[in-house]
Structure 1
Amino acid sequence: MPRGRLLLLAMLYMLLVCAIGLLQPIRNALALKGLGAAGFYKAYLASAGVVLFLVPFGRLAARVPPRWLTTALALFFVSNLVLFRVLYPGGPAFGILFYAWHDLFAAVLVSQFFLSTQGLLSGRTAKTAYPVIIAGGSIGASLGGVITGFLVTSLGVPSLLLVGAALTSAFALALPMVIPAQPHDDASATGRRAPEPRAGWRTIFADRQLRFIAASVVLTVLVKQLVDYQFNRGTAAALVDPERISAFQGKFNAATQWLPLVASAILQPLLTRWGVGAALFMLPAAMLATNVVVALWGGLAAVATAKATQSTLQNSAERTGREIVYMPVPPAIKARAKPIIDVGVDSLAKALSAGAIFLILAVARPSALGWTAAALSVGWLALAWALRRGYVRSLAHAIATRDTTLDVLLAELRGGLSGSEPDQAAFALDLLARRDAGATPAVDPDRIPDLAAALADQATSDSARRSAARALGRIADARALNALLACVAAPEHNPRVRGGALSALTRLHRRAPQIPIGTSEAAAALDHDLDAAARYRTAGAALPGGALLRRAVEDAWQRRRENVFRDLALLYPPPVMDGCYRALVSETTQRQEAARDLLDEGLPRSLSERLEPVLENPSSQDSPTPRARNDATAQAIAALTTDADPWVRRCATAADREPHNIPSDHMDDIDKVFLLQRVDVFREARSDHLALLAGIAEETDVAAGTVLVREDAVPNAVHVVARGEVSLAMPGMPPLIAKSGDGFGALGLIGERPAMFTATVTGPATLLRISRSDLLDLLVDSPELAVALLRGMAHRVDTLLARAPAHSLLEV
């Protein structure tokens, strides 16, 4: 989130909490005036009446976007404050009514404010954003306490009610300008919002995560009210006059409400380091400790300490943790369930606390209140542990089940053919292959020893070893699994062989999860890929952008990233790891952040920290230019000349070659790759795939007048011009000239359709020729290259359609 918007959100929350904090001492004083110190707990029963508000509120929430609903509700509460000003001081019931109203005012607006912000955040970004926003609220609470504590005697309660109305009005008018409209908001405003599932009490109790959140709210309120009652009882015993009580509590709030600001500053690094559990455990642990002290020694100082601790952590850690654990809940359900929990369950819990206080005081001494709060804190700690596990489980469920139907995967693949991530489409193809594994012809288990020997023998051709790996992956046998596992765990000089074995292993593991897998071997494979990914990430940052070596290193990094998640799928639930990978390579920021949050929360901390090099795509913004190489660049190139990846090693040795200088004599594989990467249909292929194409590309010298392709004949090869020119003639149109780096014939060759042009060499020329048979053999052995070619052809078709009726060098 941009820092400017984050600061505005913090200031917006500051206005709201300032109004709440300003009115809170007035609320307590008026309730004490009407009920007395001993009967103050009865005010908690009045809070239960706000549940009636949920019926009309739920209907509005289903029809009005959160940011507009929050604004409308804030203005409604402003009108209420004006009415309270007119009716002040009222009778004995005035204080009770204002107490219940204040609870509704605070609960609804705070809940709706955070609901409005959740569309801007993910679970991961919320861990850094919410402490800042809540810090703004801490400043607002302190200001509210200062205003009431120091100005109530001079301005009076009626004037402070109008000050609260002014602050709330500013909040209401600023919110739509600070929080942008979400896509579905516009549809709602025009009456075309898609129907959403209804969510009520049954929805809450049917969803485990919402049940945990609701139970946590109940325990939070019970402990808070027990502490709050003891604090108000002790204050009223010492101070009798309502204005003196308001002044004292206002000054107490002013002295303590800045503490959440400190707690938020401490909380942010804790969340980054330890996850949401750091926020969930802080308040119950502190309440357990302080309430034991209250129960043992009592006294106003002990109760004030418990009250300050509760207020500090509830307005920082507890609020942050609660908002984060809401993140995985589907938006349509969250929009209805969150107010029910934050307002309805909160209010009912306050009524429950009133009954609990009444019973405790009826059968025991007041010190029993402290022991009761301590006992509840123990249960609260256990619930916090379950809530954190539920949060991780909800994240995993959302990631693992999102877009996992075959139809959706096919749709994603079709859309991905013209995207910008070759590995995403390749990974989706692999997922489809896993689902269709049952349709693959069975392999005789008696062949396992021979296949395992072929896979392990580095003297065997790479193609044969990859074929052996694919065959082993179709045999649900422990011997096949162990042979593949041994290949991926041991040092392997050919990453394509190892990658093929790892892909086959992960498919076999999904097909036959009952076969035990060696965790030490899987962990060794993960260590290998993580170390390689970190090495390539560091080297790529030091290389000049646009260079072939930089591209080779980034391609190697992408392969290792994919391998890392295949390795993780051997150690953790495969659907979850597959979902994390698909989310990370997607173009949706929120899905990427959700995957990162799940990995942070669900994996051991030592492992999640090591994943950092594979979580974000490398950026070329800070890399040196080709003409501004520094010592880091030279060191990176020198290190890559001895890299385990043969293609990276080959590119490093040719790092000083210029891509546009085609030699006059024989071309090597690097020269051919320089040419092939300029051909549009090969634009999506990885550099190592281009090297495979270079290996089958035949350099040929052609005399003038040679006809390479005839109109209405199916091309038998792809041609790329290295030197010279080729005329592409079409009936009724001026001929086009293919020059160095231009290719033709690929679409007709792969599609086996007649060419729409005649290609004739205009003078002595040198071309690269890739025959149909060689290309098809290579595509069978390298399905990732096939995907890249399909994506390149899809892009080429889009280009041709955009330029119609003009034609280009690569004809359809």
Structure 2
Amino acid sequence: MIQGMDGRPDDDREWQIRWSLGSLHFLVIVAFTWARIVRDGTLLSRVHVEWIPWLTGVVLVVTGLFTPLLGRFTRSRTPARAFAGVAMATGVSLLAWELLLRTRSAWSAMALYVWVGAYGPLLVAQFWLLVHQSLDGEQARRHIGWIGALGILGGIASGLTATLIMRSISLDELLGLTAVAQLAAGAIALGRTAPPATDDEVPPAGTPRRARTVLREVGYARLLALVVVVGALTGGLVDYQFKLALQRLSTDPAALGQWLGLFNVAASGLALVTQLAAGVLLARVGSRVLAFVLPAGVVTAASAGLAWPGTWPPVAARLWETASRHSVARTSQEFFFLPFQGQPRTTMKHAAEGFLTRGGEVGASLVLVLLALAGRADPWHLSLAVVIACAGWMCAIAWLGQAYGPALSRSLDALLLPGRSAATVDVDRGVTVPELIGLLRSRDPRHVLFALDELAAVDPVRARREARPLLAHRAPAVRARARRETLTRRTASSAATVEAWPGAEALQAALRSGDHTRAAAACAEVVAARERHAVPVLLANLAGAVRELARSTLVQLGDDAVGILGDTLADGRVPLRVRRDVAVVLGRIATPAALAQLWRVPQSAARPLRVVALRGLDAARKAGVPILLDEMTVRADVASDLLEFDRRRRQAAAFGDEPPPDLRLLVRALAEAASQARERVFRRLALIYPAREMLRAHRGLMNSNDRIRAFALQYLEASLIQADRDLLLPVLRTSVPDETPAVSDSVIALAGDEDIWIATLALHVLGSRRDGALRQVVPEPLREDHVYQETARWALARL
């Protein structure tokens, strides 16, 4: 289980994914940048900039017609083949546009502007769908920055080449080069080997998800759509300001091509710098905070335009907007699509890059038309409109950031649901009852001892029944342990007693009569009278056939029994099985007074008892019961349990993936201790954060599917505060190092472990190997545990 969570990625395959997607992104951005240079340069040289708001509306119409066709084309194809088909089809269309541009007509320039604006973003969106299909959340953290950086290098290369060759070729000839680059990208994608699709990536046949259905059913999708629309509206205003300033500088096609080429070089260079910082920022602050970088820079430049209206503030705003959209904004935005799975993700991606973005740009066009009609389409009022739009954009991002974590959790729950099985309330160990029953039949006495101890903690009644045949076992240690299990149970200590109660004998007789109806009637009388003096009698009968009846009676007594139950829980002299049942009862009572008693379980208590107490607190919190807690103390306990988890998994790893037979039980105990420590970490976090979501993340981390574990880690990164994120995620993401101590040194160290069961198993290994170091590690006097003492004497006798 621990090794499954800490599995290392295949380095060769990861590098292959990184380079193939990165080179493909390079070609996509080269082609798209050239297409935009030709589009803008041709339009500004033939048509006045005031036509742009009207052309934006036409782009929306064409995009609305093109998006459903694209959806039908991609629905039955893998993302790689879908991208290849779209790239090749649009590349061929650009060759036809090159012939039309040679007519030097204004309508051809406007038609090209509409076509590039319609297909370009959708082609980029199809590429990022291919990225999503190839990477899970954790792989995206490692590679998405690299893939984005190669795309930015493509922007630099295309800008430089456009600037250098515009003196010798025309814009329509540059469009021919664009078509070649796009066809090359389609050919590479067509030859790329895609990873096998998982169940969550393949949409059911005959159930296409349209954008309006997703937007109607999913609140998170509506928030994401709002962010896209408002962001596109802001970008449309910034773009118009920039083109207005550029047309005032020149209307010569060659000069405009050079200006646009230089601008793209500068924007790509700035994007590369910000992309290099994006990885650090993503690790430090997360995708939610990173999403504010773009609007913050734009509003700063627009504010400068309010103070100094002119040419350069709009250029600076457009420069930052272009650079950020291709670096940090792209990186953060791709993470916002992670909560969608399968067909809904494809639908939302096409919608975001298609009609939602075009709709935002149409909104910008309406604002520009209104400003023109009001006679306020000057640089100062345009800057004011950008500032107002950015304020709305940042508010929408804040709302989306709040919904991001819960949306990830719901998506994780959908991935976990098909294979999730309900766990019983009382099971708190790392193995199931059938496994333990099987171990009781083992020929190895150590396995039998381990299974009997675990079964006694999970199901005491079953343990007593299974212990009877073991009284004739060949191993003395097993016979002794079986005798202890079948002995008559002693009652709780004096901490749970009160003054003499006249009805004690009658209740005791009813519970031990073997007549369930009589016992239930006696318990009903106790509940009706709210008789707290009956609690010691009920505690003494937490075994056998009336165990569940006694527990339910204590639960019904509620706060009348809480004081005595709390004293019993905190008393180390009371048998562990009784204290576990008391913790379960207090969790089921779930009143503030009962939950306060669960905090009396110390960190030094047995692991099963601590887990049961935490489960009771978590269940109450999920039910909405208020819990008084000290967050500083809880976080300190989280740090302690996290250290234990890391220490135990490293101790288990010290013996390798396939330990010798005499070490297997010890390694198993270490792995279970690590698993239980990790469970306690998340159960404590569930007291501070939303309980259901945090425990769901824990189930995700224990899953064998890499994509599900990546989802769980992404949810934690999105939900934890910075301090908790820095504490938790490095441990959960770090694999156990290859450098491990010698096996003998590890066993000797474990012989003195504070966990008595692990120390006992280590002593048994040393005794089996007749290791002379045993004399130095066995304490005098022996530790107070019957099995430990028997094992130590046996081991010393073998030397």
TM-score (norm 2): 0.74
Question: Where does residue 340 of structure 1 map in the other structure?
Answer: 351
Question: Where does residue 109 of structure 1 map in the other structure?
Answer: 123
Tell me the secondary structure at the aligned position of residue 379 of structure 2: coil
Question: Where does residue 221 of structure 1 map in the other structure?
Answer: 232
Classify 1:486/1:318 alpha carbon distance in 2 versus 1 (closer, same or farther; 3 Å): same
Correspondence 1:351-370 to 2 at 5 A: 351-362=362-373, 363-364=375-376, 365-370=378-383
Name the CA distance, whole Å, in 2 between partners of 1:588 and 1:244.
55
Q: Does 1:3 align with 2:113?
A: no
Equivalent of 2:360, from 349, 372, 375? 349
Cα drift, residue 650 of structure 1: 4.1
Tell me the secondary structure at the aligned position of residue 291 of structure 2: helix
- Percent identity over the alignment is 23
Cα drift, residue 153 of structure 1: 2.5
Q: Does 1:516 align with 2:528?
A: no
Name the CA distance, whole Å, in 2 between partners of 1:406 and 1:270.
35
Contact 1:222 1:350 in 2 (8 A): yes
Contact 1:47 1:103 in 2 (8 A): yes
Question: Where does residue 453 of structure 1 map in the other structure?
Answer: 567
Equivalent of 1:231, from 217, 242, 252? 242
Q: Does 1:318 align with 2:329?
A: yes
Question: Where does residue 727 of structure 1 map in the other structure?
Answer: none
Tell me the secondary structure at the aligned position of residue 586 of structure 1: coil
Equivalent of 1:56, from 63, 69, 89? 69
Classify 1:121/1:440 alpha carbon distance in 2 versus 1 (closer, same or farther; 3 Å): farther
Question: Where does residue 372 of structure 1 map in the other structure?
Answer: 385
Contact 1:19 1:167 in 2 (8 A): yes
Contact 1:294 1:370 in 2 (8 A): yes
Cα drift, residue 589 of structure 1: 0.7
Correspondence 1:304-703 to 2 at 5 A: 304-362=315-373, 363-364=375-376, 365-400=378-413, 402-404=415-417, 409=422, 441-443=552-554, 444-445=557-558, 446-487=560-601, 490-510=602-622, 512-520=623-631, 522-523=634-635, 525-537=637-649, 546=659, 547=663, 551-612=668-729, 615=732, 619=736, 621-626=738-743, 638=749, 643-651=753-761, 656-658=766-768
Name the CA distance, whole Å, in 2 between partners of 1:518 and 1:176.
58
Tell me the secondary structure at the aligned position of residue 589 of structure 2: coil
Name the CA distance, whole Å, in 1 between partners of 2:40 and 2:612.
70
Name the CA distance, whole Å, in 2 between partners of 1:15 and 1:419.
55
Tell me the secondary structure at the aligned position of residue 402 of structure 2: helix
Tell me the secondary structure at the aligned position of residue 307 of structure 1: helix
Name the CA distance, whole Å, in 2 between partners of 1:383 and 1:257.
27
Question: Where does residue 175 of structure 1 map in the other structure?
Answer: 189
Contact 1:392 1:602 in 2 (8 A): yes
Question: Where does residue 42 of structure 2 map in the other structure?
Answer: 30
Say which structure is richer in strand: 1
Name the CA distance, whole Å, in 1 between partners of 2:119 and 2:89.
10
Name the CA distance, whole Å, in 2 between partners of 1:103 and 1:577.
43
Tell me the secondary structure at the aligned position of residue 155 of structure 1: coil
Name the CA distance, whole Å, in 2 between partners of 1:316 and 1:12.
16
String of CA shifts for 1:443-465, please: whole Å, max 9, x gaps.
23344333322221112222232
Classify 1:694/1:199 alpha carbon distance in 2 versus 1 (closer, same or farther; 3 Å): farther
Name the CA distance, whole Å, in 2 between partners of 1:337 and 1:644.
54
Shifted more, 379-388 versus 473-482: the winner is 473-482
Cα drift, residue 234 of structure 1: 1.8
Correspondence 1:49-128 to 2 at 5 A: 49-50=61-62, 51-90=64-103, 91-128=105-142
String of CA shifts for 1:187-214, please: whole Å, max 9, x gaps.
98xxx96333422324224422222222
Cα drift, residue 625 of structure 1: 4.4
Classify 1:696/1:120 alpha carbon distance in 2 versus 1 (closer, same or farther; 3 Å): farther
How many residue pairs are counted as aligned between the two chains? 652
Cα drift, residue 505 of structure 1: 3.9
What are the ranges of 5 or more consecutive residues in structure 2 without an aligned counterpart?
1-8, 440-453, 460-547, 780-784
- Code of the aligned partner of 2:111: L
RMSD: 3.9
String of CA shifts for 1:329-351, please: whole Å, max 9, x gaps.
13221222221221111122222
Classify 1:326/1:658 alpha carbon distance in 2 versus 1 (closer, same or farther; 3 Å): same
Classify 1:317/1:525 alpha carbon distance in 2 versus 1 (closer, same or farther; 3 Å): same
Classify 1:254/1:593 alpha carbon distance in 2 versus 1 (closer, same or farther; 3 Å): same
Classify 1:439/1:605 alpha carbon distance in 2 versus 1 (closer, same or farther; 3 Å): farther
Cα drift, residue 144 of structure 1: 1.2
Classify 1:184/1:617 alpha carbon distance in 2 versus 1 (closer, same or farther; 3 Å): closer
Contact 2:80 2:192 in 1 (8 A): no
Classify 1:399/1:153 alpha carbon distance in 2 versus 1 (closer, same or farther; 3 Å): same
- Code of the aligned partner of 1:302: P
Question: Where does residue 154 of structure 2 map in the other structure?
Answer: 140
Contact 2:584 2:613 in 1 (8 A): yes
Name the CA distance, whole Å, in 2 between partners of 1:186 and 1:583.
15
Cα drift, residue 543 of structure 1: 6.7
Question: Where does residue 57 of structure 2 map in the other structure?
Answer: 45
Tell me the secondary structure at the aligned position of residue 506 of structure 1: helix
Cα drift, residue 305 of structure 1: 1.7
Name the CA distance, whole Å, in 2 between partners of 1:440 and 1:54.
62
